[in-house]
Amino acid sequence: MMIPKSKTINKKLKHTNRRNKRNNRKLNKTRKHIIHKLSPITPNFEEKNLCCAIRFYDNFNEMIKQFQKSKKYVEAILVSSKPNQEVMLGNPNATLYTKEFLKFYPDNKFAQYLQSINNKELGTNIGFSRDDAKNLAKWVLDPKIKTKIVIFDWDGTLSAVEGVMLPPTKELTIEMCNKGITFTEMALYCAGSKNRLEGLQNMFNFLHEKGVEVFILTNNPVAACDWRKLDDPSIGDYSRRNFYKLAKQFIPQLKMQNLLCGFETNGFKPDTFNNNKRLREVYARIQHWHFQNSAST
């Protein structure tokens, strides 16, 4: 007869269903455990407002395009590459910068030294301006964005000049100090004027007070972490630390690990950005926020 067989099948099905329910309960518990463990580093997909934001400033349009193509959620802002106004008064002949600077600051020993070796600057720019600083301050004061990061190029952006001359070794650093050349004088030369240097210092103090993280991302090889890979006699084991000391004249709170060198990624700054854990993690949160909001619309 067929009835006993049907009863047997029903019993087996009931047993299978009970077993599946037990397995599902175990699976759900496992999932909850995994989610609980990941929760400290998992972005909050329910955030109504953009919780993180990153800005990048550079005076080269090519660098801005790099970020626009590769890191579209970083706000890349082009600063002015027009001839410097502080020293050059709009004169495009950058080779005269050292001579003109000494007219304003004749006692600057760094400029005196550069003049003695007939230094010729390659470029002098307006760079990061007062208007840029005002715009940045408005962004910083936006209460909706909790985590803010600002990344600055160096040459032609924070510094008014393109390039920087620094002693590459301990011996040459000592020699520079013996000549009375200070990093303060070097910073003044790079900034273009006392007013601009003090204005930048005040701005960075303001950023620090508001909890804004600051990075420098430069393609200048003097900032490279491993100078031995460069095969350049003008760069040595003291180049990076001296560049850091110079940069701290602008940004007193700058951390060494926040000094990034795009030269190490063949000048492609978004790759240098990716290599930094902090920037990578914050950018991932921004990506998740945009993905969540685009998916819900």
Q: What confidence tens digit (pLDDT) does each residue in 184-230 have?
A: 999 999 999 999 999 999 999 999 999 999 999 999 999 999 988 88
Tell me the backbone φ, ψ of residue 7, rounded to 5 degrees.
Answer: -60, -40
pLDDT for 296: 59
| Dihedral (Cα; 186, 189, 193, 198), 10-degree rounding | -20
With beta carbons less than 8 A apart as the criterion, state whether 167 and 176 touch: yes
Task: Look up residue 119 and give its two tokens.
Answer: 């230094």
pLDDT for 297: 54
Other C-beta atoms lying within 10 Å of the C-beta of residue 19: 10
Side-chain half-sphere exposure of 190, counting CA atoms within 13 A: 25
With beta carbons less than 8 A apart as the criterion, state whether 121 and 162 touch: yes
Q: How far apart are CA 296 and CA 47, in angstroms?
A: 12
As averages over each run of 10 residues, the pLDDT of the chain (297 residues) reads 41 48 49 38 52 96 97 98 96 97 98 97 97 97 94 98 95 96 98 97 98 98 92 92 98 98 96 98 93 71
Distances 92 to 83, 87, 124, 131, 142 between C-alpha atoms, Å:
5, 11, 8, 21, 37
Q: Strand, coil or helix: what is 214?
A: strand
Helix or strand run (H / E) with residue 52: strand 52-58
pTM exceeds 0.85: no
